[in-house]
């Protein structure tokens, strides 16, 4: 059994240390009659050990000390308990005076298990990642002690809310965005003080795009999205350039130009340039290391509907086809084996032009299905459903990409009455733990709504802190974003305040654990009529609050289905500490993301998507649904059937499959999760290899694919997933 020290280091559980601590507190009692007997101390130690084993995960030292206090008081030794608590408090004061040192030292030595597993796409052994984590620990310390109200900090620590990305809060940084790549490529930009003019070829445009992506990723802490359509005009730029070159070559060689031959040669050379350009984006994104020690969290949007004319639509189709072909092939790992990369994430729009077998671009949809079956991407947006849900003040529906993995902007029309999405961003996220409200209410619905209102006030104030932190930010902190076109073209020294109001940017109220919340309150599941009705009522109430705040402050608050990654474990541990183990609610080491059906619930793919579509519609700030599927590479028609269902029923969804590789024995299948001494580990089923450095494991955990492994809570959730198809 393992225990997590305050520094984050994970070590072997040692019951003798508990016995010694109790013995010291016991000897500090003057009256021998009030002391514990040696037998009582041993009983207390054994009881604590049993409680820790029942938790089913590595316990934190603070949890162990809480259990010790409880067991001492349980036998009536109140004076001993008092002295134990007093000693514990004094030690806490000493630690608080220098709170970050041990955490930083432990992560440098790669001993901090909590930080190591915080982000499944960061390698904690790399210097740049450690540097980012060190800065993050300092930022969190400053934030907790100086920048946030104490009640918000305490609520975050207790898992009542989650104040996202506290490790970046000390800086004036925002969350995620839609990069206005079109403006930057067409009108030029500046990167690191260097003027970049409009590219004169497709390959140059791809190179510039990757540099923009890297700069944007280093200037914010969330995901970003770019559109393939913004690169498409440069396909024709290259076409015309190649055409002129070939004409000269043919005239020089033959004395005349055969149009048929000219066309064939031009398109062949153009296809090669497209192949190289797409490969540039894929390989550079994967190999780039931004200032926060990871590849950019980037999404590419594949949408025929963004074409401005028929020729551009055909060129977008060429780019989509090449992007899908290269992703299907994969990226070579260190052993030279093609594996599934985490980035860029791909989103493919299902539309009338590609969804039916007689649609002109159905071949792209078939290719997308093959790619999903092997590499888990692309994910899918239904143009039809999105235009029903994303309607602007003019009554027009729109289809556009999310910012990164799932955060969606709300419809916006500029002063000229034109819809605008690229160049906009999200200010930040605060998530409410709905399960904590439900358990605090003790099945009393009146009490639930009362506590709900109190927690909304707490979340509102926390979100205001995020907004106020950005207020007054000058454009000089991130010129690529605010001065040179990624998000705006403001002047040097100007503040970004004009972009924080009026709907240009959003700010997100997240929520987690709707499944457990409903079950805790009425003993029903979201898949049952009564449970579904209550779940919808809760989301409607959350939307009422965001609309109220927006009307009062002219800030675009929006409800967001939170993609808990490491926080799923944190919330679960906090619930167990506050309320104990409650079957169906807090008996797992993870909580359910947003509105999702619980990962253990037997339900077919189509029923799941149909049900979740109703909850997704009530999460305008972003959400994504998924279905868990087996290896589908030999059943592409089934993948296509799910895609057609997505088109007709839900705005945004994905298929989760497995894509793993063992370096030791070359096993190409599903790496499995096993339990070893109370800890979950990854194991190759073929050779039993457990060395994570000698395997590639790709799983989707929060919209993005993760590839650097996860904490114990998320690993347990992955292990528990049932198939929906």
Place of tokens 């579509």: 613
Q: Catalytic residue, from 403, 459, 662, 702: name it.
A: 403
Q: Catalytic residue, from 63, 565, 612, 654: name it.
A: 565
Q: Catalytic residue, from 206, 399, 405, 465: name it.
A: 405
Among residues 337, 328, 230, 342, the alpha carbon closest in space to that of 297 is found at 342
How many Å is the maximal CA-CA distance in the chain? 114
- In Å, how far are 15, 213, 298 from 346, measured between CA atoms? 50, 15, 9
At residue 200, the 3 state secondary structure works out as coil
- In Å, how far are 483, 485, 496, 499 from 491, measured between CA atoms? 6, 11, 10, 13
Q: Specify whether the CB–CB gap between 469 and 152 falls below 8 A.
A: no
Q: Where are the beta strands (DSSP E) in 202-250?
A: 224-227
The continuous run of DSSP H or E covering 495 comes out as: none
Is 176 one of the catalytic residues?
A: yes
Q: Catalytic residue, from 168, 422, 557, 560: name it.
A: 560
- Angle (CA) 451 457 463, round 5°: 135
Is 175 one of the catalytic residues?
A: yes
Is 412 one of the catalytic residues?
A: no
Sort 660 into a burial class: Cβ within 10 Å, 0-12 / 13-18 / 19+: buried
Among residues 273, 209, 210, 211, the alpha carbon closest in space to that of 241 is found at 273
Q: Catalytic residue, from 52, 166, 176, 651: name it.
A: 176
Using DSSP bridges, classify how beta strands 506-512 and 425-433 pair: parallel, antiparallel or unpaired. Answer: parallel
Is 675 one of the catalytic residues?
A: no
Q: Work out whether the CA dihedral 226, 230, 231, 232 comes out positive or negative.
A: positive
d(C-alpha 648, C-alpha 651), whole Å:
9
Beta-carbon contacts of 516 under 8 Å, excluding residues fewer than 6 positions away, are: 434, 435, 438, 584, 585, 586, 591, 592, 598
Structure tokens at 260: 């048929």
Q: Catalytic residue, from 111, 112, 175, 566: name it.
A: 175
CA dihedral 644, 645, 647, 650 (to 10 degrees): -160
Q: Catalytic residue, from 119, 354, 407, 649: name it.
A: 407
Is 560 one of the catalytic residues?
A: yes
Q: Catalytic residue, from 120, 227, 354, 426: name it.
A: 426
Q: Catalytic residue, from 223, 513, 703, 706: name it.
A: 703
Q: Is 584 left (phi over 0), alpha (psi -120 to 50) or beta?
A: left
Task: Kindly tell me the number of DSSP H helices and DSSP E strands found in the chain.
Answer: 24, 24
Catalytically active residues, by annotation = 175-176, 403, 405, 407, 426, 560, 565, 703
């Amino acid at each position: 059994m393992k225990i997590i020290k305050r520094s984050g280091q994970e070590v072997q559980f040692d019951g003798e240390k508990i016995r010694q601590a109790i013995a010291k507190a016991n000897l500090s009692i003057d009256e021998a009659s009030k002391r514990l007997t040696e037998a009582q101390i041993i009983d207390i130690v054994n009881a604590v050990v049993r409680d820790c084993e029942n938790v089913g995960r590595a316990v934190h030292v603070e949890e162990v000390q809480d259990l010790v206090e409880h067991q001492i008081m349980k036998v009536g030794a109140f004076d001993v308990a008092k002295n134990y608590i007093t000693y514990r408090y004094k030690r806490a004061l000493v630690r608080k005076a220098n709170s970050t040192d041990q955490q930083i030292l432990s992560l440098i030595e790669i001993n901090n298990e909590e930080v190591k597993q915080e982000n499944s796409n960061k390698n904690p052994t790399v210097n740049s990642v450690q540097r980012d984590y060190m800065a993050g620990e300092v930022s969190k310390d400053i934030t907790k002690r100086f920048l946030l109200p104490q009640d918000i900090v305490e609520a975050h620590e207790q898992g009542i809310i989650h104040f996202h990305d506290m490790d970046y809060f000390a800086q004036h940084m925002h969350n995620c965005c839609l990069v206005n790549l079109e403006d930057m490529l067409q009108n030029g930009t500046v990167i690191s003080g260097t003027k970049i003019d409009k590219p004169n070829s497709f390959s140059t445009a791809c190179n510039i795009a990757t540099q923009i992506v890297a700069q944007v990723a280093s200037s914010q802490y969330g995901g970003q999205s770019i559109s393939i359509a913004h690169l498409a005009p440069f396909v024709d730029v290259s076409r015309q350039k190649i055409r002129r070159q070939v004409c000269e070559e043919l005239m020089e060689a033959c004395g005349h130009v055969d149009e048929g031959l000219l066309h064939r040669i031009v398109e062949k050379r153009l296809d090669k340039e497209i192949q190289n350009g797409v490969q540039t984006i894929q390989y550079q994104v994967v190999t780039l290391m931004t200032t926060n020690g990871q590849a950019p969290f980037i999404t590419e949007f594949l949408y025929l509907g963004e074409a401005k004319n028929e020729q551009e639509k055909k060129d977008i189709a060429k780019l989509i086809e090449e992007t899908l072909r290269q992703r299907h092939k994969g990226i070579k790992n260190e052993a030279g084996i093609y594996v599934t990369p985490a980035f860029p994430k791909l989103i493919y729009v299902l539309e009338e032009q590609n969804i039916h077998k007689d649609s002109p671009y159905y071949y792209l949809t078939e290719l997308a299905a093959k790619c999903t079956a092997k590499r888990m991407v692309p994910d899918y947006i239904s143009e039809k459903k999105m235009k029903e849900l994303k309607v602007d003040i003019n009554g027009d529906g729109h289809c556009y990409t999310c910012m990164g993995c799932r955060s969606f902007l709300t419809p916006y029309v500029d002063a000229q009455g034109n819809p605008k999405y690229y160049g906009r961003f999200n200010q930040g996220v605060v998530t409410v733990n709905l399960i904590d409200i439900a358990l605090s209410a003790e099945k009393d619905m009146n009490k639930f709504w009362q506590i709900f209102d109190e927690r909304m006030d707490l979340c509102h104030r926390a979100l205001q802190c995020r907004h106020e932190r950005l207020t007054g930010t000058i454009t000089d902190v991130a010129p690529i974003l605010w001065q040179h076109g990624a998000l705006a073209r403001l002047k040097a020294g100007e503040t970004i305040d004009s972009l924080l109001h009026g709907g240009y940017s959003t700010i997100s109220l997240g929520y987690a654990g709707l499944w457990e919340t409903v079950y805790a309150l009425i003993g029903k599941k979201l898949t049952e009529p009564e449970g579904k009705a209550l779940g919808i009522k809760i989301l409607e109430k959350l939307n009422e609050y965001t609309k109220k705040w927006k009307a009062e402050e002219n800030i675009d608050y929006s409800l967001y289905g939170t993609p808990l990654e490491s926080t799923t474990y944190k919330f679960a541990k906090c619930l167990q500490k506050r309320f104990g183990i409650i079957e169906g609610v807090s008996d797992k080491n993870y909580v359910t993301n947003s509105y999702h059906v619980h990962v253990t619930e037997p339900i077919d793919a189509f029923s799941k998507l149909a049900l979740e579509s109703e909850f997704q519609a009530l999460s305008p700030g972003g959400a994504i649904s998924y279905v868990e599927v087996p290896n589908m590479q030999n059943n592409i028609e089934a993948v296509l059937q799910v895609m057609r269902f997505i088109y007709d029923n839900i705005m945004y969804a994905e298929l989760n499959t497995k894509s793993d590789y063992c370096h030791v024995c070359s096993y190409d299948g599903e790496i499995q999760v096993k339990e070893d001494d109370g800890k979950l580990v990854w194991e190759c089923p073929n050779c039993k290899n457990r060395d994570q450095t000698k395997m590639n494991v790709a799983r989707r955990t929060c919209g993005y694919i993760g590839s650097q492994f996860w904490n114990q809570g998320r690993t347990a959730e992955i292990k528990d997933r049932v198939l929906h198809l």
